[in-house]
Amino acid sequence: MVSLPRWLARFLFYLGLSVYAFLLVLPLLNLFAASFKSDGELFAPGFWPANPTLEPYLEALQKYPLARYLFNSAVVALATTLGVILVSATMGYALARIPFPGQGLLFGFVVALLLIPGEVTFLPLYLLVQGFGWLNTYTALIVPFVASPLGVFLLRQFIKSLPQDLFDAARIDGAGHLRMLWHVALPLSAPALGALAALTFLGSWNMYLWPLVTINRSEMMTAQIAVAQVQNVEVTAWNVVAATAILVLLPTLIAFLLAQRFFIRGIALGGLKG
């Protein structure tokens, strides 16, 4: 086999990387470019706008209460994340560190729930939430997802892997389980909590089918559903649709760029559940 000179091999490697990365990001760049095009320029040839304008953003923000939609999504995603952390930490701690009758059974129950594909129980869940009078409320988008078997499972595994000595030391100092949970288990579980938080936030922010069926009052809509609504109305004004989509993309994109390792860890762990 002919071996290439080192500099050429390196050049080709970076070229391949760049081309692949460019092709992967291309649809997003294309959307970004469209969001700065005026109505007149939208269907003209040229990838980038010749005269970039903020008109599509202004139009999107004027015609639709996008700030409200983004606020709704933020409230839902943050509350769900907080709830999942709380339930997972308390249940995970009890399953890992407090011996009580039926512990093995309860852990088996949580593991069994991991198998249940939640995406397809949305019809009975809809009836339940409707019965509670929760349609068109934040509650419908938050409470059903707060008890996450995956979260409990991950934190139970993590807390169980922490060194026993630390808990012994705390116990000798007279700490009860609540204090050990708060002062020992939680600080040490920061990597797992961060990963779970990132995973949960992303999942909640991206929810589509569930808010679509439980929310129909405009002011309660989440950002995802708003994108669908704007796209439905602005049939030809793709620049306005693009501007809306970019605004909806920004929060998760910024969160991803800032806390990339938590997202990566969360996805790696979430994928390895089982």
Residues 110-129 that bind another protein (CB under 8 A): 110, 113-128
Name the segment binding another protein (CB under 8 A); options: 12-20, 50-58, 60-68.
12-20
Q: Which is nearer to another protein, 36 or 205 (CB)?
A: 205
Write down the least CB distance from residue 246 to another protein, Å.
8
By CB under 8 A, is residue 174 in contact with another protein?
A: no
Does 93 contact another protein by CB under 8 A? yes
With contacts defined by CB under 8 A, name the span among 49-57, 58-66, 147-155 that binds another protein.
147-155
Residue with tokens 């709830």: 83
Check: CB of residue 237 under 8 Å from CB of residue 39. yes
In this structure, the dihedral spanned by the alpha carbons of residues 132, 137, 141 and 147, taken in order and rounded to 10 degrees, is: -50
Residue from 60, 154, 220, 237 binding another protein (CB under 8 A): 154
Binding mask 53-92 for another protein (x = CB under 8 A): ----------------------------------xx-xx-
Minimal distance, residue 207 CB to another protein, in Å:
9
- List the interface residues with another protein, window 191-230 (CB under 8 A): 192, 202, 205-206, 208-209, 212-213, 223-225, 227-228
Measuring CA to CA, which residue among 167, 154, 34 is closest to residue 99?
167
Q: H helices within the chain, ranges in order?
A: 6-34, 55-63, 66-97, 103-115, 122-131, 138-142, 149-161, 164-172, 177-180, 186-188, 190-206, 209-214, 223-233, 238-258, 260-271
Q: How many Cα atoms sit within 13 Å of 110 on the Cβ side?
A: 24
Q: DSSP for 113-125, please give it.
A: HHHS-GGG-HHHH
Instruction: Answer for the pair 154, 92: CB distance below 8 angstroms, yes or no.
Output: yes
Rounded Cα gap, residues 76 and 71, in angstroms: 9
Q: Which of 72, 144, 185, 215 binds another protein (CB under 8 A)?
A: 144
Give min distance, CB of 58 to another protein, in A.
19
Among 85, 97, 184, 221, binds another protein (CB under 8 A): 97
**167 belongs to the binding site for another protein (CB under 8 A):** yes
Segment lying near another protein (by CB under 8 A), choices 49-57, 59-67, 174-182:
174-182
Give the span between the Cα atoms of 70 and 60, in whole angstroms: 13
User: How many residues in the shown chain lie near another protein by CB under 8 A?
Assistant: 109
> Least Å distance between CB 27 and another protein?
4
Please state, in angstroms and rounded to a whole number, the distance separating the CA atoms of residues 213 and 140: 11
Q: Least CB distance from residue 267 to another protein, whole Å?
A: 5
Instruction: Please check whether residue 141 is in contact with residue 81, taking contact to mean a CB–CB distance below 8 angstroms.
Output: no
CA distances from 45 to 51, 57, 63, 192 (A): 13, 21, 27, 48
Stretch that binds another protein, among 14-22, 48-56, 59-67 (CB under 8 A): 14-22
